[in-house]
Structure 1
Amino acid sequence: MSTTAAGVDGCRGGWVAVILDGGRPETADVRTVARIADLVRGLPETALLAVDMPIGLRDHTPPGGRGPERAVRPLLGMRQSSVFSVPSRPAVYEDDYPTACRIARETSDPPRAVSKQCFFLFDKIREIDGLLRDRPELIGRIYETHPEVAFWRLNGGRAMTLPKKVKSRPSRPGLDERRALLERCGLPGRLFDAPRLPGVGEDDLIDAAANALIACRIADGSAAPFPAPLERDACGLPIAIWV
């Protein structure tokens, strides 16, 4: 495989990407950008990106969230709480938290408000949504993934045994478990030992690294969407978590 593969995760500074030149884990490099469009612009035109951010928004949220959330939760056992239900598009495009909660309740079954953690992701969800709606040619290059589902896939269909975070703070045993798996998959230790870029947490880097390996799977045709066949939203964007 000669396609450049990038795994992307949101971080305090914007976005962090682990980039594999030609899809080769040993070439892993880290880059941060303020906007995901900046990352796309700086990569080869054939590069594939696997991003930990919802792509494809429903106008109404059914029980359990979108199809991807319902499809992957049973795979993760005790880690399934890491998969949150994505609110409706009208809620995601609301900047005021109380109003977003009201709209989310009005457009979900059963009525469900928005967690603060999810609300803080709205800017980034809108960023990707707007990019793909403005540039539909990127739909075949930017894919939604989820780190815990990525780790499940990379671990032979077994969920991680330890939580990555405890009380919303990174947990050393969980981070070490995931780093060890990523190194077994061929990513170099230098990737994790190098001084981290400003605004990038260790958990952000580890998630982006897992996503990069999923981007390789997408490039070589071995990745699969959840659910399959994948769904599409009213704007034609795919609604699927790829691993």
Structure 2
Amino acid sequence: MTDEPPAARPSLVAGVDGCPGGWMVVTIRLEGDAPPIARVVPQFLDVFFGSEVPGIVAVDMPIGLPDRAGIGGRGAEVAVRPLLGERQSSVFSVPSRSAVACEDYREACRVALATSDPPRKVSKQAFHLFPKIREIDALLRADTGLQERVHEVHPEVAFWRLNGERAMSLPKKIKGSVNPAGLDERRQLLEASGFSSDFLSQKPPRGAAGDDFVDACACAAIASRIARGLARPFPQEDIYDAHGLRIAIWA
């Protein structure tokens, strides 16, 4: 990397979710009563530049890629699915590193079949995330200092934690479309977790949708838990990929 990220402020944490405009970022100050800050940045590296640089970042994107994919994906996916009940379909299985490296869908499916046990193709939904997975993977492999600051999370696992370790009762989406009742249920939980109703009811920044904003808030809540030493990884045992990146979903 040519530019090193500025020193982080330990009192700042951020939740990040991928969105059409790049990355939806919600930053929380752990001390004082300053309101959260919501913004969209084009690249994940941009999270670490500017006047508000978080010490801990919780991002809804896989970190740590397997050489071969097993049943149910990585150990992280296998560990969290049983927690989510009817919401467990929101956790997709991460394919092999070589499949994620493919920029053509047919090629990704071919490589995934050859590097999974049992053989499994790549879903279109997962394939569309590959560019963002590659973006974070390249950044963390190039800057080992960020590896301690960036943690993988999953919004539905985050809501499970915030909801007293109970899965959400309503889906966030139905047949690919946002479910307003599901979003309202999650906003109510975020408000009970410390976000103001005014902040949650604002229009998302340009480049992000309402569900991206809500998910980023949930990720920020887990970033706060990580900073305070209250979060734990799934699975609890240390699992790393071939490049030393930890494979775990935090909540």
Q: TM-score of the superposition, structure 2-length normalised?
A: 0.93
1:7–1:110: structure 2 CA closer, same or farther, 3 Å change rule? same
Please report how far the alpha carbon of residue 107 of structure 1 lies from its aligned counterpart in structure 2 after TM superposition: 0.5
Match of 1:201 in 2: 209
Name the CA shift for 1:116/1:45 in 2 (closer, same or farther; >3 Å).
Answer: same
1:19 partner SS? strand
The separation in 2 between residues aligned to 1:129 and 1:164, in whole angstroms, is 27
RMSD (Å), alpha carbons: 1.5
1:42-191 to structure 2, matched below 5 A, reads 42=50, 47-191=55-199
Q: Partners of 1:114 and 1:239 in 2: how far apart?
A: 20
1:219 has 2:227 as partner: yes
The structure richer in helix per residue is: 1
Alpha-carbon shift at residue 197 of structure 1 (Å): 1.4
Kindly indicate whether the alpha-carbon contact (under 8 Å) linking 2:27 and 2:220 is maintained by their aligned counterparts in 1. Answer: yes
Call closer, same or farther: CA 1:13–1:142 in 2, change over 3 Å: same
Which residue does the alignment assign to 1:30? 38
Is the CA contact 2:10–2:55 (under 8 Å) kept in the aligned structure 1?
no
Aligned length: 243
SS state of the match for residue 236, structure 2? Answer: strand
**5+ long unaligned stretches in structure 1:** none
Distance change >3 Å, CA 238–CA 180, structure 1 → 2: same
Q: CA deviation at 1:2?
A: 5.5
Offset of 1:44 from its aligned partner? 5.4
Whichever residue aligns with residue 48 of structure 1, its letter is I
Decide whether aligned partners of structure 1 residues 13 and 81 sit closer, same or farther in structure 2, where only a CA change above 3 A counts.
same
Q: Deviations over 1:80-102 (max 9, x none)?
A: 00000001000000001000000
Local SS of the residue matching 2:195? coil
Question: For the Cα contact (< 8 Å) 1:9–1:208, is it kept in 2?
Answer: yes
- The structure-2 alpha-carbon separation of the partners of 1:172 and 1:46, relative to structure 1 and needing over 3 Å to count, comes to closer
Change (3 A) 1:101 1:46: same
Deviation at 1:183, TM superposition (A): 0.1
Q: Cα 1:46–1:211, aligned 2, differ >3 Å: closer, same or farther?
A: closer
Q: Any unmatched runs of 5+ in structure 2?
A: 1-8
CA–CA distance in 2 between the matches of 1:191 and 1:60?
42
C-alpha separation between the residues in 2 aligned to 1:97 and 1:2? 40
Pick closer, same or farther for the CA change 1:23–1:96 going to 2, 3 Å: farther
